[in-house]
Amino acid sequence: MEYTDYIELGLNGEAPLKLILCGNVQGENNHKIGVVSVVFATNDKSLAEQKIHQLTAENPDHYYMVYSVPLNTDLTKLTHYPSIEITKEDLQG
């Protein structure tokens, strides 16, 4: 699947809460760290769609993902919950 397909899955998921996460690498040379943060939350699908397009345009070097999240749920019990993988290779180079 392509990146845009994953975005569509998140936007069109049944759960009411839409979370946008941002993943990026910060620092220089041997002092790099991977950071994943929640940057936007809404119950409005169209607002989430506008925001993710705005964020990706403003910060093309960051990685954004949108998730549909059920309320009152232990997210760690889901088969896939909001997360972004940052690999060792991301921190090198």
Task: Return the half-sphere exposure (C-beta side, CA atoms, 13 A cut-off) of residue 50.
Answer: 6
Structure confidence by residue, pLDDT tens digits, 10-20: 999 999 999 99
Domain positions in the chain: 3-91
Residue-wise pLDDT for 68-91, tens only, equals: 999 999 999 988 888 888 888 887
Question: Residue 35's pLDDT is what?
Answer: 92
Q: What own/partner pairs with CB < 8 Å and gap ≥ 24 does 1-9 have?
A: 6/65, 7/52, 7/65, 7/66
> What's residue 1's pLDDT?
86
Beta bridge partners of 65: 21
- Consecutive H or E run containing 46: helix 45-58
Confidence (pLDDT) at 87: 83
How many residues appear in the chain?
93
Enter the pTM of the model.
Answer: 0.88
pLDDT at residue 64 in the model: 96
List the structure tokens of 79. 């088969």
Q: What angle do CA 9, 13, 16 make, to 5 degrees?
A: 140
Do 20 and 81 form a contact (C-beta atoms < 8 A)? no
